[in-house]
Amino acid sequence: MSILKKYNKHLLQRGFNGPISFNQTYKLGHIITFDRRSGFEVVGHISNNHFRLSDFTAVTKSGVSEVDIDFGTETGVNIEAKITGDAQIPNSRLSVEDTGLVIEFENKASYLLKTAETKVHFIENVAELGDKVNKLYKDRKWNRNWFIITQLIEADRATLLISKSRNSKIELKAKGSLDSISEDDLVSADVSFTALSKKEMNTTIIGKKGPYFPLFKANGIRVRRLFPQPVGSPFEHINKVNSMNAFTIADLEKEKPEFELVFEEYNFSDELIEDDDTYLT
């Protein structure tokens, strides 16, 4: 499984999706697709006439997050801090005089994502947007593989480290004279680092000044069975079919349809599943 997909499977546990680099500037209302090889791709914006949503006016809200993002240590990330005068860490290139961090990753796509001065942006009138998208889909004017970014996390400063394999490692030396050091300094404006060594690292973005957009939520069209089988029923499994392949638009237009079209938060779990995956863990 690719690093991108394993990383996003981890993020799903936190309720988000995200890229493995910060090269793309995301915006509320961006229309994205997901490709199993290249990841998330922006194909346009709801304001573009091509998507027939230019008559929709998004009501957007923004605010400062009460807490910054600190994700990933649960995926097998171990951090050891060292300050000047401490004994050398075994198998480390940090000298006795150095202050820094040794960060080790136990698994492929283990990650550490930290942000500072974090803001949250979201579209408030999502239901109105959904009504328009659903109508476009029924009129055969909307691609079911288009998803709209409805919530966005912005960080003024961010660190993202993703391992390429098991036992990946990075050693960071802090610049200047410091009395203490911790993982929180990875997004401090007052501390900068240089990488002394890197072993099998996929992504190394360290304390970079933004704005960056490391996390987002997107909405897309789905179908929901109007008469789902009760939980525990022998037929409960039919609720879990790939719903977008289980119906046609004609099914939605029946006098007594079995399905309804909804516009809801999309977690890309179907796209992240590999042939050897039975469910997301």
Amino acid present at 84 = T
Range of the domain at 97: 3-217
Is 12 contained in some domain?
Answer: yes
What pLDDT sits at residue 177?
A: 78
Residuewise pLDDT in 10s, the chain (281 residues): 588 888 988 998 899 999 877 788 899 999 999 887 778 899 999 999 999 998 999 999 999 999 999 999 999 999 999 999 999 999 999 999 999 999 999 999 999 999 999 999 999 999 999 999 999 998 999 999 999 999 999 999 999 999 999 999 999 999 987 889 999 999 999 999 999 999 999 999 999 898 999 999 999 998 876 665 555 555 444 554 445 555 566 666 676 766 778 899 998 876 775 544 332 33
Is 161 contained in some domain?
Answer: yes
Is 231 contained in some domain?
Answer: no
Is 257 contained in some domain?
Answer: no
Is 241 contained in some domain?
Answer: no
Number of separate domains in the chain:
1
Is 244 contained in some domain?
Answer: no
Structure pTM?
Answer: 0.84
Is 48 contained in some domain?
Answer: yes
Is 199 contained in some domain?
Answer: yes
What pLDDT sits at residue 220?
A: 95
Amino acid present at 52 = R
